[in-house]
Amino acid sequence: MQLLITSFILIYFLFIISNGSATYTYALEGLCMWFEKLIPSLFIPMIIIKILYMRNVFSFFHPKWILKLLNINKEALNIILSCMLLGFPTSSLLIDQAYHEHLLSKNGATRLLYICSFAAPGFVIVTCGGLFFPYYSL
């Protein structure tokens, strides 16, 4: 099985090298799409949510039954609410920052990394919108 996987990867790598111009074209197209569509549509919400998190706006929503049900503290619930809006790459940075500021224990940060690994709503909307409505732009 290991030989089969290794040979497949080698053949795939040789295919990519032999078709350099197509690889370059598709990589350039992907980067252009990233910088023209995703960055502008996600940058502003990232800044707004980070400001809301730093101003403790999410601390107004702390039902005791949710804290008890999830066995977390208020800071962890703030991070979960922020992560639901931010999505994975940014939420992992937020969890890391809270861990280094001693707002979360190592165990709590690890638990949050397990449950806060999902796409941001803005990313899903932009991706699905680009798929279903390709002729409209932001």
pLDDT in 10s for each residue of the chain, 138 residues: 788 899 889 998 888 888 888 888 988 988 888 787 777 777 777 888 888 888 888 877 778 888 888 888 888 888 888 888 877 777 888 888 889 999 888 988 888 888 877 777 766 776 676 667 766 655
Which pair of tokens denotes residue 128? 């699905």
* Torsional sign, CA 20, 22, 26, 29: positive
- Give the model's pLDDT for residue 88: 78
How much is the pTM?
A: 0.61
Beta strand residue intervals within 1-138, DSSP E: none
Q: Is 103 helix (H, G, I), strand (E, B) or coil?
A: coil
